[in-house]
Homo-oligomer: A and B are copies of this chain.
Amino acid sequence: MTRVDTIKPARKTPRFSDTQIEMAHGAGGTASRRLVEGLIGPYFANPTLQAFADAASVSVNGTQIATTADGFVVKPLRFPGGSIGELAVNGTLNDLAVSAAKPLVLMATLILEAGLPASTLESEIEAMAIAARKSGVSIVGGDTKVVEHGKADGMYVTTFGIGIADGRANLDPASIRPGDRILLSGPIGAHGITILLARGELDIEADLVSDTRPVWPFVEALLERVAPAIRWMRDPTRGGVATSLNELVRGSDYGVALFEESVPMHDAVRGACELLGLDPLHIANEGQFLAVIAPDRADEALAVVRAVPGGEGATFIGEVRAEPKRRVIGVNGYGGTRVIDMLVGDPLPRIC
């Protein structure tokens, strides 16, 4: 046991200077990044891992495992297409999948509000069990805490997952090169907009369900067929496709051109975003993934994803460009361009 009484935080990034926590700090955009990089990361910094990230790679006697932790506070607990329990399982499995790690086990910790109907809890436990079993994964343990009525909002779920790294792929944002193609697995924004509409605060009706699902079947197919061509993957959840792509290029020597008209989305998502002044590129997805693929195998990769049931909507939405560095540039059908930034603020709190 080492004696440590104070920690001198590593300071590589601007210090977090906000005086209190706001909803935006949980939204996955710029405020979340400031919190994680400016406050949490410097304390937790360690020799092997500088980032406080969703997923981490750890060696266990020579076997590389991926571990991931996620919290779920979605409101309402049930929504068209899914629920907090199902989301908690698939969200964690998807973090492992886009790290090219085959899920091994899950654990789950529940924070319950006193007064929660037992039937509500049972529904979510069942949803977790079903989602885990569909993916062939066991939930091997966890913890349950209860807080007073009014000190939570029904229930919160946190999940932890362990996966075995698939050695066939070598994912590294530093490996991207100009000309690489950006593959998206399907239409964007369905999760975030579904949650927004499910709250019933807006007078909008739409025939829309969350896209929540495991992405491992697609990733597994890619790994089997074109593993060496996969440079990077990410599930664009909080902060959406725009935030994920900005995270890809922010430490890179390259940029991304996003062909805006190529980005698939349901009419209901497009319509709701127009009505509400939201950018669909910032809306959360729970069943999609982005992959950067080397150009010589890109068409093959797309065919592989499209051949997996549920992958029919996959398409290329952009490519890596030499300039402008560290930027995501939206290109429209007329050749017009705009800078696409990370999410700022939190237009849709508690969507996952």
List residues of A whose CB falls within 8 A of some B CB.
Answer: 1-7, 9, 16, 18-27, 32, 35-36, 39-40, 43-44, 46, 48-49, 51-56, 58, 60-63, 65, 67-73, 104-105, 107-119, 121-122, 125-126, 128-130, 132-136, 138-148, 150-153, 156, 158, 160, 162, 164, 214, 216-217, 349-350
Contact = CB atoms under 8 A, between A and B. Distances in A.
Given A39-B122, A146-B349, A158-B158, 16 more contacts: A2-B135, A2-B136, A7-B133, A9-B126, A21-B115, A23-B148, A48-B140, A49-B140, A52-B142, A56-B107, A67-B107, A68-B107, A69-B108, A70-B109, A111-B158, A151-B153
A15 to B, nearest CB: 10
Contact of A21 (B24, B121, B156, B162): B121
Given A116-B21, A134-B1, A111 B73 contact: yes
Contact of A158 (B118, B121, B135, B143): B143
Contacts of A24: 146
A130 B4 contact: yes
Contacts of A61: 60-63, 164
Given A21-B121, A71-B145, A107-B67, A139 B58 contact: no
Give 7 nearest A-B pairs by CB, closest first: A26-B146, A160-B160, A56-B140, A43-B129, A69-B107, A56-B141, A158-B158
A243 to B, nearest CB: 15
29 contacts: A2-B133, A2-B134, A19-B117, A21-B113, A21-B117, A23-B148, A25-B146, A27-B146, A35-B144, A49-B140, A49-B141, A51-B141, A52-B139, A52-B142, A53-B141, A54-B142, A56-B105, A58-B162, A60-B104, A60-B162, A61-B61, A63-B63, A67-B160, A69-B109, A69-B142, A109-B158, A145-B156, A145-B350, A148-B350
